[in-house]
Amino acid sequence: MLLLMLLLSGCIQKTHAPEGFVYIGQLIPDAQYDIRYYGEDNFIGTRVDGYKAPVAILTYEAAQALKEASTELDSQGYYLKVFDAYRPQKAVDHFIRWSKDSSDIKMKSLYYPHVDKKDLFALGFLAKKSGHSRGSTVDLTLVYKETGEELDMGSSFDYLDQSSAYGTTLISTEQAVNREILKSAMSNHGFRPCTKEWWHFTLIKEPYPNRYFNFDVK
């Protein structure tokens, strides 16, 4: 029971990942986790296909770069909090099936209140071939080291709306500054931000730029 509780809290990580990949916790032990697709608090409202454990996996190159960003942010008083990293193609396929079911809008008010779900792919909020499946993209935020409280970024993770974009005028100056803290550190260590989603970063020199993986997150 204790082992299960520790795994669910993200306090321990498995020690074996597929060749070329690593669990983030092996390189960044202070990172925190809220792996939304393992549970039901996400935009589709159910566990996503391929998520067998609440852990985060990246290519070694991306994880090493993330470790360097984490070290910079640690000196400023912040820890990383990871929402998603490597995402199997089967999970993306789950999103595609969900988008075609017009009757399922139970999470609309929380995650996509101003967008018709059938338009999420066309508008660029979702992709049928996701960079996450190449293993070098990560979704994350920052928490204060002293309190563990998340910084106010002006919108929540996976809030599929224009207010989640960099450069939006729909957030406060303080919220924009908080986003810039994260963006600056990630950019300093080789990650490219996503203009539509403040939490989404891809390693520029990703090792598998044309390969989409489908192994489970476990």
* Location of structure tokens 């993306």: 92
Q: Are strands 78-84 and 57-59 parallel, antiparallel or unpaired?
A: unpaired
46/68 Cα distance (integer angstroms): 33
16/218 Cα distance (integer angstroms): 10
User: 19, 174, 197, 206: which is the annotated catalytic residue?
Assistant: 197
Tokens found for residue 165: 């974009």
Tokens found for residue 25: 């916790």
Number of C-alpha atoms within 13 angstroms, CB side, residue 142?
Answer: 30
Residue 202 CA: distances (Å) to CA of 50, 60, 93, 173, 188: 21, 13, 20, 25, 13
* Location of structure tokens 């029971």: 1
Number of C-alpha atoms within 13 angstroms, CB side, residue 75?
Answer: 6
Is 197 known to be catalytic?
Answer: yes
Chain centroid, CA 2 distance in Å: 27
Q: Are strands 197-203 and 57-59 parallel, antiparallel or unpaired?
A: unpaired
Which residues have a catalytic role annotated?
197
